[in-house]
């Protein structure tokens, strides 16, 4: 079987609050809808042609009576609203309990062994915006050499360091040390390296971020595909999210443009299997920084690139465009939001115009891809019968 599946995650592109959004402090969140309102309407002609306007009400994008793709939206069955939970659920893992979060910073039983292991005290140790804490503590970090540790509303242990003070490999080593310590009840979803450069007053985060995720607790679709001998390529931070598991090849990217370019290259190099891409800048540069105009600009660049992707697809290829959570840049919060995510599925030999409805779990995507590739995923409800001739 030479079927190829391309899954592109537009990181943080939610399409409306889920029924339990209030439990997460996210009532009113609607990443795409609120961006459209804030911009006085948006134009994404290629996504509109595929059927984006059929998923919800987004000012400027009308419903398409004859969409190229089949469309719906997905609810997250797992508790949480973070990157790891969302991606894992797409690939068939449902969490029973959310990853731990630390609104008051990390406790002594985490920080004391970390400080001892890295041989240095730390700065910060509190929830913060990454760009803001670097502005606030960057100079002290440069003077003292102490790494900046911080978290957010998500389950993350983040370490920021200037490259001239703590070189990349040393920073990555600190993250791996933290990953080993953060186990059991403190098993956060991700430890993240946040290198930056520049002078005080002009610090800039680099594209050399690395995520060190906890391993999935059970087999994912990626594991099943690799075990079956299928190529599985991870583009962007996919390798980090799945702790390197289930991939036959992986490449890290410096930005969305690089991610899109490498997705096309991965497809061209593949005779079958899965190309799984995360485009992180929607979330990292615009959602977390409450930059609706920048977010819209990134969406326009993706939309302009989309015809290249469609043109590269052949007979039995499947393209899926989705997201892992919301990250609404128009709300006071700078964190992720508990939202539905889009589900856009296209293939030259697949049906277009099918209303996929509201899926009960992100795992419905994984189950569908699994069935299309001749595999069986134990979780999720496949909708393949609805879109295949």
CATH code of residue 332 = 3.40.720.10
Q: Do 90 and 73 belong together in one domain?
A: yes
Task: Give the total number of structural domains in the chain.
Answer: 2
The CATH number of whichever domain residue 182 belongs to comes to 3.30.70.1250
What pLDDT was estimated at residue 1? 64
> Average pLDDT per run of 10 along the chain, which is 389 residues long?
93 98 96 98 98 97 97 97 96 95 97 98 95 96 98 93 98 98 95 96 93 94 98 96 96 96 96 96 94 98 98 97 98 95 98 98 98 97 97
The answer to whether 126 and 150 have CB atoms below 8 angstroms apart is: yes
Contact 212, 189 (CB under 8 A): no
Which of the listed residues 167, 194, 212 is the one where a domain comes to its end?
Answer: 212
pLDDT at 154: 85
Verify that 283 and 197 share a domain, yes or no. Answer: no
Assigned token pair, 249: 């090849």
Q: What integer pLDDT is reported at residue 2 of this predicted model?
A: 87
Distance CA 76, CA 94 (A): 9
Residue partners of 28: CB distance under 8 A and separation at least 6: 17, 21, 331
Let me know: does 126 contact 107? Beta carbons within 8 Å.
no
Which of 212, 244, 275 corresponds to the end of one domain?
A: 212
Which residue(s) pair with 150 in the sheet? 126, 158
- What DSSP state is assigned to residue 320? E
Look up the domain containing 141 and give its range.
108-212
Burial of 351 (0-12, 13-18, 19+ CB in 10 A): middle
Say if CB 160 and CB 152 are below 8 A apart: no
Q: Which of 151, 100, 130 is nearest to 280 (CA)?
A: 130
**C-alpha dihedral over 374, 215, 13, 292, to 10 degrees?**
-160
Rounded Cα gap, residues 29 and 243, in angstroms: 30
Q: CA-CA distance, 59 to 32, in Å (whole number)?
A: 9
Residues 208 and 218 in one domain: no
Please, what sign has the CA dihedral across residues 157, 163, 168, 169?
A: negative
195 forms beta bridges with 161
Q: Of 193, 212, 231, which residue is a domain's last?
A: 212
pTM: 0.92
Q: How far apart are CA 257 and CA 247, in angstroms?
A: 22
Which of 220, 212, 223, 138 has its CA nearest to residue 174? 212
Query: Are residues 85 and 230 located together in one domain of the fold?
Result: yes
């Amino acid at each position: 079987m030479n079927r190829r599946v391309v899954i592109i995650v537009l990181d943080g592109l939610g399409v409306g609050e889920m029924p339990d959004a209030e439990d997460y402090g996210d009532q009113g969140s609607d990443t795409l809808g609120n961006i459209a309102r804030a911009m006085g309407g948006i134009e994404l002609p290629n996504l509109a042609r595929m059927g984006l306007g059929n998923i919800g009400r987004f000012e400027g994008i009308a419903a398409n009576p004859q969409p190229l793709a089949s469309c719906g939206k997905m609810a997250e069955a797992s508790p949480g609203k973070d990157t790891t939970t969302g991606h894992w659920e797409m690939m068939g893992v449902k969490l029973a309990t959310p990853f731990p979060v630390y609104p008051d910073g990390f406790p002594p039983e985490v920080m004391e062994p970390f400080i001892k292991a890295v041989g240095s005290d730390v700065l910060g140790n509190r929830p913060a915006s990454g760009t803001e804490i670097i502005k606030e503590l960057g100079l002290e970090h440069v003077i003292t050499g102490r790494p900046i540790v911080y978290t957010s509303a998500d389950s993350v242990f983040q370490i920021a360091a200037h490259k001239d003070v703590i070189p990349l490999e040393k920073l990555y080593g600190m993250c791996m040390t933290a990953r080993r310590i953060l186990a059991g009840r403190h098993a956060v979803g991700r430890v993240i390296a946040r290198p930056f450069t520049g002078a005080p007053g002009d610090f800039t985060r680099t594209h050399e971020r690395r995520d060190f995720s906890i391993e999935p607790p059970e087999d994912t679709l990626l594991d099943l595909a690799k075990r079956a001998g299928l190529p599985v390529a991870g583009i962007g931070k996919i390798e980090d999210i799945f702790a390197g598991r289930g991939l036959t090849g992986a490449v890290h990217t410096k930005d969305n443009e690089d991610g899109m370019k490498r997705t096309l290259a991965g497809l061209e190099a593949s005779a079958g299997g899965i190309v799984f891409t995360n485009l992180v800048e929607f979330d990292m540069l615009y959602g977390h920084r409450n930059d609706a105009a920048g977010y819209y600009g990134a969406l326009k660049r993706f939309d302009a690139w989309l015809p290249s992707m469609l043109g590269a697809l052949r007979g039995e290829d499947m393209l899926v465009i989705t997201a892992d959570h919301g990250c609404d840049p128009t709300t006071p919060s700078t964190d992720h939001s508990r939202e539905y995510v889009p589900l856009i599925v296209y293939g030259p030999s697949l049906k277009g115009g099918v209303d996929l409805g509201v899926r009960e779990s992100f795992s419905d995507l994984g189950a569908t891809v699994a069935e299309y590739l001749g595999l069986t995923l134990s979780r999720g409800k496949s909708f393949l019968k609805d879109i295949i001739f």
